[in-house]
Structure 1
Amino acid sequence: MNLRASLRSKLIIGFLAVTVPLFILLMYNNLYAMDVVRAQVGQSNKNLLAMYMNEIDRTLEDTESYVYNFVVQNSDLSVYGKAKTGSADYFFSKVRLQNKMMSDIIRYPNVNMFFVYSRSDRELLSTSFRGGDFAKMESVSKALKNFISEQNDSTLSEKKWKVLQRGGELAMVRLIKTDNDQLVGVWMDVDKLMIPLNYLNLGDQGQALFVSNQGKPLTKTTIRELQAPSYTLSLPAATELYRTLRTIQEKKYLIVATASRKASIHLAVLVPESTLLQQLPYFQRLLYVIPLIGMVVLAIYLLLLQRTLLKPMYYLIKGMRRIKRGELETRLAGASSKEFMIINDTFNDMVAQIHDLKIDVYEEHIRTQKAELKHLQVQINPHFLLNAINIIYNLAELNKTDLIKKMSKHITKYFRFVTRTNLNAVSVSKELEHIESYLEIQQLRFPNYLRYEISLDTELANEAIPPLIIQPFVENAVIHGFVMGKEPFVIQVMVIRPTQLDAPYYEVHIADNGVGMGHEQLEELQRNDLNADFEDGHLGIWNVRHRLKLQYGTASELTFEQRVPKGTLVIMRIPRSKTYVIEGGQSSHVQDIASR
């Protein structure tokens, strides 16, 4: 059955045709709302980051201006660079420089240290490190010297703040080269620049961080993926408001970033999408619940249809199919709805009427078949009677009274068998005895020109056979195949088993050495057409074929063959019966009756 054509499929498709577009519309509305919120959050955070970055850049710019002014306006810097180490000028200029930086650092709360570095003798003159002890001062000094040693004239000429990473800490360093091979600079911890960002409302898992231009996180982060040394973030371009980040734990973050004008860094924030969704209206978040509700409604809808419509229709269709297969005892039970109760009662009444009508038609068919079989069986009697009377007439013309007596005896025996029309079957042996009586009659007429041979397998003697089923072929052989000549006309009747010992049938062979039949006549007989017109000469053959069809259906078979060098062979294949026919309470049979 085509599932698409079923009522169940059409109802489901109709329901989905209504609900699926609604779900799609709701999903589109929710996704659109989420995109709007992302854009708004991205724009808001981008503006906020731009404000913070401008403040940071302004701090860096002010600090950088101080360093430039310090280089240009402080004459002690030139004396310190040119004076001989250990001289009074060297000592006093050094003290004045250090005091100057110590007094000026108070005005720059984000600066940790001002310094002057002599590249010739690798001497570092600096303020104390704000926010650290002596040990940290030593560590910072060592890191700073190493960092400066890695710089060359090309990098020193860049007017940019440089990022210095020391362990897990991050610092911003600005170096300005003087004419005396000195570097005047400032050290600023990034942690101080991050303090205002800690007050941003980014959710429980949101965070702000500095990122290099290549996307490498520079400040500490709690996201595991970002802690890997080789990890890089995909920062949004200048024309983009945000980009998204999906972690291994399937958490999504919104990345918003802005670049610094004074350093090769970006200020970025990671905003969890869960925080964004909290800003959506409540009904939009119901999108995740609506499909579940729809599935529940669909299940209830299908269950109701199953009970009230589909299940009764299924039983009705099932009952119709059983009726189609001939199971007329099928009845439908009551239904829950009034309409189907009426349909089921009407169906049961119709099936009962069909059942009674089929029984009546079947019984009438059986009676008709029996009447037709009796009629066909009796139909042979006048056909042979005319031939027998003709034979007696010929004998009377020859004044052969002895033969007439013998003929009358065989005719009496013959018609005693023929008039037993109440029998549907006789034993093979009785049928062959009847054929012998007929051939005796014919032999009395042509004693020197006709011979016959009858043989029977002893195991087939009691097998059932329709009465008078062999005689038409023997009779046709005598009438149409017999021509008086130099050699006698021989008729052979044999009842044999086929070569397959377990075959469910036996064969009757009627053979003669007469004139045979033409090719067209043989084809006509082989057509096995019960509805075709027949001539008088084929009446007996049509009779036999019709009787075999009525009694055995397609299980029987009748074929005709042309014998070599001449003559005709008729083969009847008759199904073996499960019970044997026993005449008079005893089994009688004929075996190898002597040729005459």
Structure 2
Amino acid sequence: MRASLRTKLIIGFLSVTVPLFALLLYNNFYAMDVVREEVGQSNKNLLSMYRNEIDRTLVDAETYLYNFVVLNENLPRYGKSEPGSADYFFAKVRVQNKMTQDLVNYPNVNLIYAYGRAENELLSTAFRGGDEAKLESVTQVLKSYIASHSDKELREKTWRIIRQGGELAIVRLVPTEYGQVVGAWTELDKLMVPLSYVSLGKQGQALFIASDGTPLTKAGIQETDSPGGKLPLPAENERYIRLRASGQNDYLLVATASRYAPLHLAVLVPESTLLQQLPYFQRLFYIIPLIGLAVLAVYLLLLQRTLLKPMYELIKGMRQIKRGDLETRLMAGGSKEFIIINDTFNDMASQVHDLKIDVYEEHIRTQKAELKHLQVQINPHFLLNAINIVYNLAELNKTDLIKKMATHISKYFRFVTRTNLSSVSVNTEFEHLQSYLEIQQLRFPQYLRYELTIAPGLERETLPPLIVQPFVENAIVHGFEMGPEFFMIKVAAKPAAAEDAPYYEIAIADNGVGIAEDQLQELQREDIHADFEDGHLGIWNVRHRLKLQYGGAAELLFERGQPKGTVVTLRLPYSSPPMKPEKGGG
């Protein structure tokens, strides 16, 4: 069942509004993704800068420990001397003094220490930022940790995370050859100080996360999709991960890993702050469909009154005319446009009785003639021959001739496909003939010659396009033979021999095999249908087009050439009166 005009209009309206709504929706999500990407990349770059600063602190502390082990001459004495001896006592004091002096150079390190396994004794500096009680607590944690690990385990070149009371710290342990373990202790809160300057809004937070996802500092979100309170970590090539917290805002988690410690620097950015302007835009999506429905209702009501109802009346009248009820008339009314349409419809219905069927038949014959004209001109055989010539020239590597051939083929088919032109100038028609003959001459370079001439003053005279080429084609197809002399085709546009004649002539002459007497008589007949029925499609085409455009003012003549060949003469009326030469004064 065919859709009505109303249905098509509704579909058309929805076809416009639905994509617009979808575009707005897509634009909203795209804008949010762009904001997330930009914020994620910005925070990742910022974290990378702070990570490099923290890593530099860790590297400096680690380098110091190795240098302390290798270069401090008191450390071997402390390890080798007999406990209680003077050497042991002075070496111990010097080691502790040296560590105390060096601690000043590392402001982010809380404690530097040396632990002797044999004596279970830990020498250390004072605890930076703490009291004696905290130093005692840290000392016990370190002794217990070092005693529970062998030197082989401690030789792994990495910082380790240790929990002391309710706080976390990272330590670096370097075993020596003398039974000691030298190390540095840094609280995570100390390393967190630079991150506190990152502006993340009221609900944003910077934190450390272990490599397994365990938060090392208290996270501002209580429940996430991840089990066990662990946080997912983005891959190295990811800018962020979205965290959905139950009952709270969604967050963007941006993190980057330290190269020297098993921890990640991370920030939690709340999306409510990030996208605080977009919710107003999102609410618009719920309003747009309602507005669209209201507009559609008003739109359909107006269409019903101004377009659909008059259109239905017009269709009803057309159907009555189709059924043969020629007395049908439409009532005036509606918009100005439909008043004009109804009046025109009524006038057309009144004139139907006076229409003649031969008008339609003549129209059909004209269309067929134009169709046959186009079919005749675009000759597939000619195209294949032209392509074959290009191929052979390519085989001979004659690039200049290939360029020339391609140019003429392009001009030829550009001209023959311009069927919308009712007339062209004589000069343009002869340029087309030159392209055609150049192509044929490349086919038969040893046998074909041609000559094209236009008398002065005739260059701008107009004639139907492709009116001369069929006779040039016939000369090559029917009159051409390979012999000792050149096959010559001459095409000349010249004024008529008779003075003051209202026409000019275009003569096509060749020196070919000529034409038989019976064929000549047949071609001279004026009956245009005889040529078509006998197979002379091109000549019938020309005669028919001349009759359509000039009536009886144009002539087509055939005669034998002297001493041989064929001459075809086209007599065409001037498109404007010819200019007469002025007589000179005495």
TM-score norm. by structure 1 comes to: 0.48
TM-score norm. by structure 2 comes to: 0.49
Bigger RCO of structures 1 and 2 (CA < 8 A, at least 6 apart): 1
